Amino acid sequence: MPASVFRCIPPRSTGLSGITALATLSTLVACGGIGPGTPVATSEPPGQYLPPEPPSGYTSKAISYANKDMVAAANPLAVRAGVDILAQGGSAIDAAIALQMVLNLVEPQSSGIGGGAFVLYFDKGANKLLAYDGRETAPGSASPDLFTGSDGKPLGFLAAVDGGLSVGTPGVLRMLEAAHRAHGKLPWKALFEPAIQLSENGFAISQRMSLSIAEAAARIKAQGEPGASYFLNADGTAKAAGSILKNPELAATLRAVAAGGADAFYQGDIARDIVAKVRNHPSNPGRLSLDDLSGYTYKVREPLCSVYRVQYRVCGMPAPSSGGITVLQTLGMLQRFDLTAMQPNTLDTVHAVSEAYRLAYADRALYVADPDFVSVPQAGLIDADYLRERARLISMQKTMGTPVAGTPPGVQGAKGQDNAPALPSTSHLSIIDSAGNAVSMTSSIENGFGSLQMVRGFLLNNQLTDFSFSATDAAGKPIANRVQAGKRPRSSMAPTIIFNASTGDLEGVIGSPGGSAIIQYTTKSILGMVDWGLNVQQAINLPNFGAQTNATTSIEKGSLIDTAVIRDGLKARGHTVAQTVFTSGLHGAVFNGLRANGTAGLLARNPGAGAYAGGADPRREGSAQGNP
């Protein structure tokens, strides 16, 4: 039954009693996240996961169906741009480019041309999956002590972020241009028009954007112009939701790139202004140079894929992203458990899945970094035999507490324990076009509003803080994710595409923003669709929970699993429990129709409703839509 049939019971002011009254599984599925109402504060212990962007409430969303194509992304204006490009005959990559340019304007806290991205692209005609790496790179003059203070200790996170020091070479435009040359159908220039028109004519600031500005207002003001007057009122407060905002400087930048290609960004006046902004920061200058910009190169890498539950081939990004590896590791370890019988939103499920996360994150912290600089045992980390051995460490009676990394096949040399904060602010989009091509794209400028350095209408990233702040660990071992010139920092972004393992048919596209918890959000949705038979919207709605490289298990505050039964049950098994605000932003699209042979797609839950189904996270302001 579609989620829209049910009505979630809003919580009372205590935040729990209304939610715990939802007892049936069908209602749990339909209302799976936090209830309506004002955002709640985190109660994380020191050092545990904190969301990179503030929460903006919970809005129940119905699944979307369409017959020709499907677009799911973080803002309705951006989704509309993508849908319109598809209606004009554009490909999935064309729609992704148009959509990302609009997100740069309407969701500037999360992503933009001053940052980077990873794209999984399925070329239906060639029956080939490609992984495009548009991750930022460290400047050529960067050194392992980049984030070491004068006292010899690592800088504090915000001390490193705000200013020029944290800015890496942006990669998203160069990568998207290459993807367009290979897979685009409409002219490059046409893909910038929706964002240019919105920049010049103005758009209404969304509630989420206004809340994000309010949270960062003091930091924005401290960095001065032009960001201060663009985002803030004269009294220093955030511009309100509904206010009309124009960005003629961004329109001019986009016109230049539309006419001159990515070279207009990486060379000439725009590049000079970027470098000047970074290097001339009054208190925290960076090392980015014109040579770094002109010399930036995208990468086309080999995707990582594993079979899950026999029928499904799940594919993700390889290193330098840890997202694909860690999602596949988690799924591989969970093969041992009958999650269908456990059911969603139960104590056993939260325990077993969190234990698998622990083991996967422990490996992630030790081994994953830029494979062009360090040896990353990617095949070994997702090796089925290795994961079966790791899964045997999971006891259903007691948590393992703080996990220890394993020794996968292919390990070379000793590795040090990483200390990167991993708090990227990101955005995700999922697109399937009428020809069956698909894009799963996650883009980022790292922390909310990036480095807070605004140039020609867009914000610059602070992606260099995704590196470890120390070059070696306490034992003196070199950390794989240490800063090195030209290196790409490790990421948690996990754009994912799912195929039929037997036929190779495209089944679905999924991904999320959310820092290091991206891995948990994406995995949760896959479990929902595969193990529990949920449609894409229901799977996205499911409560968020998880664990990383410590003894703490975080559950989504105010959600259907935030109950005394589950909290006390976890504690009885040795977990330290944290009630956390998880601001996931999952966006997914699945094939929902019938194949030529009359069989339904593996993820089809209502084949008569439309060939494609899409879902958007109720915890953010995104939407899903396609052409009828």
Instruction: Report, as residue numbers or ranges, the catalytic residues.
Output: 426
Nearest to 559 by CA among 27, 2, 1: 27
Query: The dihedral of CA 250, 254, 256, 262: what is its sign?
Result: positive
Cβ atoms within 10 Å of 596's Cβ, excluding its own: 5
List CB contacts of 240: < 8 A, sequence separation 6 or more. 205, 210
Cβ atoms within 10 Å of 46's Cβ, excluding its own: 4
For 514-551, where are the E strands, in sequence order? 545-547
Q: Which two tokens stand for residue 168?
A: 């890496």
**3-state SS class at 26:** helix
Angle CA 366–525–94, to nearest 5: 90
Query: The dihedral of CA 236, 242, 244, 250: what is its sign?
Result: positive
Distance in angstroms (rounded) separating the CA atoms of residues 186 and 91: 8
List CB contacts of 484: < 8 A, sequence separation 6 or more. 138, 142, 144, 370, 373
Q: Where do we find the tokens 């548009």? A: 134
List CB contacts of 435: < 8 A, sequence separation 6 or more. 91, 124, 125
Cβ atoms within 10 Å of 295's Cβ, excluding its own: 13
Q: How far apart are the first and last CA of the chain?
A: 22
List CB contacts of 505: < 8 A, sequence separation 6 or more. 499, 591, 595, 601
Which residues share a beta bridge with 71? 431, 625
Q: Where do we find the tokens 């969303």? A: 61
Please give the single-letter amino acid code of residue 376. V
3-state secondary structure 73-135: ECCHHHHHHHHHHHHCCCCHHHHHHHHHHHHHHHCCCCCCCCCEEEEEEEECCCCEEEEEEEC
List CB contacts of 618: < 8 A, sequence separation 6 or more. 33, 58, 59, 60, 61, 540, 541
Q: Which two tokens stand for residue 331?
A: 């799924």
Distance in angstroms (rounded) separating the CA atoms of residues 626 and 613: 9
446-to-45, 53, 119, 443, 521 alpha-carbon distances in Å: 23, 10, 17, 9, 17
Distance in angstroms (rounded) separating the CA atoms of residues 208 and 616: 15
Find how far residue 315's CA is from the centre of its chain. Answer: 15
Task: Calculate the CA dihedral of residues 469, 51, 451, 231 and round it to 10 degrees.
Answer: -170
| CB of 74 closer than 8 Å to CB of 110 | yes
Nearest to 315 by CA among 437, 324, 72, 323: 324
